[in-house]
Amino acid sequence: MLDDLLRLAADAAVRAHVPYSRRPAGAAMRLADGRTVAAPRLENASFPLTIPALAGAWALAGVAGSPPVAVALTRPLEPAERAFLDEVAAADGLGRWRFPAPDRAQREPSAPDGPPASFDVAADAAPGDGAALAFEASRRAVVPASGFAVGAVVEAADGRRVLGANVEHTADWTRGLCAERVALVAARAAGLGPVRRVYVACAPAPGGTPCGGCRQVLAELAPGAEVVLWTGATPEHTSVDTLLPGAFGGESIHGARTA
């Protein structure tokens, strides 16, 4: 069973966005209800905005609505990551984590044959209005601290869609992820191609716009995409370029490459 998680983590690593470190990484989690989620590492030119694979997988587990009980990464677990998992386990009342044996804790990525069968927070080609779907996605938000639920939908050029919602870490506010970022993690994990449209909905603040951090992440992972904001009435249309004009893309960083 843990070998299956390692395979999923390795498949996710192939989809990593690592133009700066050039060190792809993936993480996979088995949830308490038997489902699994996997996520790749997503780097950003604004380094603190980088989403580690483990954080991405944990956020997808939150959106899936079931706590994780086992985890696998494509490289050895670091002390900070172990501490993060212990905090999550304590907050969710989980028992001991299950990890692969030390000699199997690292597995080289190999090109996946197709979208990971484990990924189950996708909307696929869900019909209907994208802004309304983003509002529905906000119902999956995990916001015990703020109560500020946000939903997002990322739509690829081929029409496929995935869902995201903001997920908070009960013990540490700084470790939460916004809905737009979770949806982008979901899109990369599901193997979606270029992003053409992002829908965002927030019931507590209809018509609210992405935060500055999400604008930077969108500028790198969804450049040129249209952004549709749910207002509770007629959706507002804008774009990533309009939200963050003159965005820094990291091209001048030493060793950077397009990924």
**Active site residues per annotation:** 180
Q: Are 116 and 151 in contact (CB under 8 A)?
A: no
Q: Are 80 and 175 in contact (CB under 8 A)?
A: no
How would you write the chain as a 3-class SS string? CHHHHHHHHHHHHCCCECCCCCCCCEEEEEECCCCEEEEECECCCCHHHCECHHHHHHHHHHHHCCCEEEEEECCCCCHHHHHHHHHHHHHHCCCCCECCCHHHCCCCCCCCCCCCCCCCCEEECCCCCHHHHHHHHHHHCECCCCCCCEEEEEEECCCCEEEEECECCCCCHHHCECHHHHHHHHHHHCCCCCEEEEEEEECCCCCCCCCHHHHHHHHHHCCCCEEEECCCCCCEEEEHHHHCCCCCCCCCCCCCCCC
Count other C-beta atoms under 10 Å from residue 242's C-beta. 11
Characterize the bridge pairing of strands 226-229 and 195-202. Answer: parallel
